[in-house]
Amino acid sequence: MTAPSRLPKPPSGGLRTLSWRRQALYQGLCLFIALTVLFPIFWVVSLALDPRDISRPDGLSIIPPGASLQHFISAVEEPTSNPVTFWQLALNSFILAIGTSLFSVAIGVFAAYAFSRVRFRARSVLMLAVLAVLMLPAVATIAPLFILLNQVKIGDFNLRQSLVGVGLAVVSGLLPFAIWNLKGYLDTIPKDLEEAAFVDGAGRTQAFLRVILPLAIPALAVTAFLGFVAGWTEFYFSVTFLNDPQSFTLSVALNGMVGQFATTTPWGKFSAFAILFALPVSLVYIVFQRWIVGGLAVGGVKG
């Protein structure tokens, strides 16, 4: 956890301890809550490991009889009926995610600094413009982006049908988010530090690059990670814009498996695919939870 862990811990236990009855009651409650939290996760793991893929599993077991990695193998080799492997899908998702997130953070941090520190005319108007965009969910801009990106055609290349086009659509919402999130963090850095740099004769740009930017690295990393997750799992634009299976992303394949037009879902393969899809970002979340979850509680990526 974030904020709590930084506070000095009050002496726990000490004089007031729980009677063992209460302790047992509360632990039982905690265990029950934990089971509700864990159940869907266990369920998917169990489906992914069950090689039988029968229409009605005959019981609820975490490790089904004859557990195998067969579904994982088929989810990697041929996740959908399209001629594209999991690796190709993952590579496309990765390129989309890393490109949009790094780009947004790299140019967003400059704007965030200007909003946080510099007083200039039109500051409030520009900030309102960013906020108004943030208020509108990304889905609500899909029509104009589709049309405009579709106008860019060079020979056989259509911007709308390419990952670059999807990336531009993603940045359209991610950049305002990055600016706002980073501004929130820069606001918390004491101004004295820059003042000291000014006294030493540094200009704005130098103070920003030498003093503020190094201090903002954790916030940059968290913002970049949240942007990465948004790109890694991006759905609306990829599904609507992309036509060529070779440029499909993981979400497009997932939609092909369980979307509303999927008639029968191979649940075993779906579960294996979902685990492979979620695991990379979930692991990063778990390892860096302390930093990320605090940021999540304050604001989220628009999506």
Given 26, 87, 193, 196, the residue binding other proteins (CB under 8 A) = 26
Given 118, 128, 193, 196, the residue binding other proteins (CB under 8 A) = 118
Residues numbered 250 to 279 that lie near other proteins (CB under 8 A) are 251, 254, 257-260, 265, 267, 270-271, 274, 277-278
Query: Rounded to 5, what percent of the chain is helix, strand, coil?
Result: 70, 0, 30
- Least distance in Å: CB of 163 to other proteins? 15
Rounded CA-CA distance 120/169 in Å is 30
- Three-class SS state of 31: helix
Residues numbered 121 to 160 that lie near other proteins (CB under 8 A) are 121, 123, 126, 129-130, 132-133, 135-137, 139-148, 150-153
- Binding of other proteins by 249 (CB under 8 A): no
Q: Tell me the HSE value of 204 on the side-chain side, using a 13 A CA sphere.
A: 7
- Three-class SS state of 157: strand
- Least distance in Å: CB of 126 to other proteins? 7
Given 21, 81, 83, 120, the residue binding other proteins (CB under 8 A) = 120
Rounded CA-CA distance 246/146 in Å is 20
Given 74, 94, 202, 285, the residue binding other proteins (CB under 8 A) = 285
The answer to whether residues 50 and 266 touch, using CB atoms and an 8 Å cutoff, is no
The answer to whether residues 231 and 98 touch, using CB atoms and an 8 Å cutoff, is yes
**Which listed range, 61-69, 74-82, 216-224, 293-301, lies at the site for other proteins (CB under 8 A)?**
293-301
The type of residue at 291 is W
Residues numbered 40 to 79 that lie near other proteins (CB under 8 A) are 40-41, 43-44, 47, 55-57, 60
Residues numbered 180 to 199 that lie near other proteins (CB under 8 A) are 184, 188, 191, 195, 198
Given 64, 79, 173, 227, the residue binding other proteins (CB under 8 A) = 173
Cβ closest to other proteins, residue 91 vs residue 129: 129
The answer to whether residues 85 and 77 touch, using CB atoms and an 8 Å cutoff, is yes
Rounded CA-CA distance 108/184 in Å is 12
Rounded CA-CA distance 298/230 in Å is 17
Rounded CA-CA distance 27/38 in Å is 16
Cβ closest to other proteins, residue 98 vs residue 293: 293
**Which listed range, 82-90, 209-217, 219-227, 229-237, lies at the site for other proteins (CB under 8 A)?**
229-237
